[in-house]
Amino acid sequence: MTSLAPLVEVRDVHKRFPVGGGLFGRARAWVHAVDGVSLTIHQGETLGLVGESGCGKSTLGRLILRLLEPTAGEVLFDGRSLLALSARELRAMRREMQIVFQDPYGSLNPRMRVASIVGEGLAIHRLGTRRERRARVDELLALVGLPPDAADRYPHEFSGGQRQRIGIARALAVRPRFIVADEAVSALDVSIQAQILNLLHDLQRQLGLTLLFIAHDLRVVEHMSDRVAIMYLGRIVECGPREEIYRNPRHPYTRTLLSAVPVPDPRRRKQRMVLGGDLPSPVRPPPGCAFHPRCGHALDVCRRDIPPLETGRGGHAVACHVFPAERVSAADG
């Protein structure tokens, strides 16, 4: 059950990266990776963040953890602005926020034993004695479904799914309240993906975690998420409760992504919509609605004005001139 208190609040966050210009030269252009995103993640909920590769979703995850500094905007964690924290306060806050990376091969140091990898955060934050840390490592390995002897082995001795379990144990070691899972299952086979998704889902419930689950595939986040946000070229274009997004998608981009998701029930079979063209360059985003060059519904206004993200009935927010959020009627309260 999701409580309503916000844990993470993102307020009009922008991130631009310079392009070209050499080591000391002036940037020739800017990549608009995140372009005015605002969103809230409530305590104990899972927010699925979905979009094509290059849409800015991983950058947004890192901005929330303050692994990157925003160009503008603010991120609040538990009501405190992360940008206002001193280095010491930020270090302490880092215990509360962890990340699980996409690549279970590249994200684990091959020269460290699993006990050291999982226990590294405990050592950095000086939590417990050596013996207590080792006991915590054993507890974590059991929690993520790895055998006790895993502690003394090296990452290369494990399969992809097992390595991702090690990555999850590492993230959980310091008892965080918030985890960003950044494409945490994308590098795994489909059958292994389901195991890791179930594990994350169970842990989230069991430990009362708040989760930002980043993926490029709507199918992956459906099972996990309480709410889903769709990102396109640096902006959130649709956001709402999971049932709303999957049953009543409004934005043409969301509808196209959903039409590619296989449905097992033949009575619900949908017509597949094909997304034409590539994601436009974030260096020169199209004017107006950035989706207009790929949208079959575009009007003149779409080529001219950026549609604002407006929230309608049931907390369902949409940024589209043609298919706006459904209005809250007087009867809705």
Query: Measured from the CB of residue 301, what is the shortest distance to ligand SF4 in angstroms?
Result: 7
Q: What angle do CA 287, 290, 292 make, to 5 degrees?
A: 95
Closest to ligand SF4 by CB, 124 or 299: 299
CB of 122 to ligand SF4, least distance (A): 47
CB of 235 to ligand SF4, least distance (A): 11
Closer CB to ligand SF4, residue 128 or residue 324? 324
Rounded CA gap, 144 and 34, in Å?
33
Q: Is the dihedral of CA 25, 26, 31, 35 positive or negative?
A: positive
Q: Which is nearer to ligand SF4, 308 or 315 (CB)?
A: 308
Tell me whether residue 143 is exposed, middle or buried, using C-beta atoms within 10 angstroms of its C-beta: 0 to 12, 13 to 18, 19 or more: middle
Choice between 91 and 284, CB closer to ligand SF4: 284
Q: Is 83 helix (H, G, I), strand (E, B) or coil?
A: helix
In angstroms, what is the minimal distance from the CB of 291 to ligand SF4? Answer: 4
Contact residues for ligand SF4, defined by CB under 6 A: 251-252, 289, 291-292, 295, 297-298, 302, 307, 320-322
For Cα atoms 278, 282, 283, give the angle at the middle one, nearest 5 degrees: 125
Single-letter code of the amino acid located at 304:
R
Contact at 8 Å (CB) between 39 and 10? yes
Min. distance of Cβ 292 from ligand SF4 in angstroms? 4
Q: For ligand SF4, which is the closer residue by CB, 196 or 295?
A: 295
Pair of tokens at residue 136: 């915590």
The DSSP bridge partners found for residue 210 are: 178
